[in-house]
Structure 1
Amino acid sequence: MTLDDLALRLRDFAAARNWEPFHTPKNLVMALSGEVGELTELFQWLTPEESAAVLDDPGTAHDVRDELADVLLYLVRLADVLGVDLLAAAEAKIDRNEHRFPPESVG
């Protein structure tokens, strides 16, 4: 599945439920923020070592995957509503970051 396929599936999902009036950029950003908060909560009090091993526990792994999926779904839906090509935007951002943060020279 591509991001375009995912966006189309989400668009169809929202349309089938008449949710488009509620899928405003403001509402989608707020929902996205809430999902990021739920993901953050899963890592909040973990040590760096525990956070690196978070997928070792099946229950926690399931929760992390669900919250990551929620974040992705709201982000893709928001980009679709705004008409933003996420892959193009990400590529452009990486290009800018490569210029802003050149590799350190070894020496």
Structure 2
Amino acid sequence: MLDPYYVAYTENLSKKTNTVIQPRVNQEIMDEVIQTYDIRNKVPVLKEIPTMILQGTKDMISPDDIRRTILKEIVRAQFIEFHESGHWMFMEEADKFNHVVNNFFEKIIRS
């Protein structure tokens, strides 16, 4: 099971709702990800819109070099790091996640 790779602390998995695993669906999703994951050629479009990048410090799925590459291309992007999270910062640090996302959109609405 991949779940422990998504969280910084395995006890946080207790917050996750159990779901039914559909191997065929998972395979189709992974096949598409493999074919379309490299979106570097689309990053310049993001230079023109408000962009926020969120990353858990302990994220094993989205390595730090991906973050650095994106931030180099989208220089106006706001970067927020979640120091107590893996890939699922929205679950592991839900209050912080909701706060920063809400603030990000409030600033856009006010501008």
TM-score by length of 1: 0.26
Higher radius of gyration, 1 or 2: 1
TM-score by length of 2: 0.25
More strand by share: 2
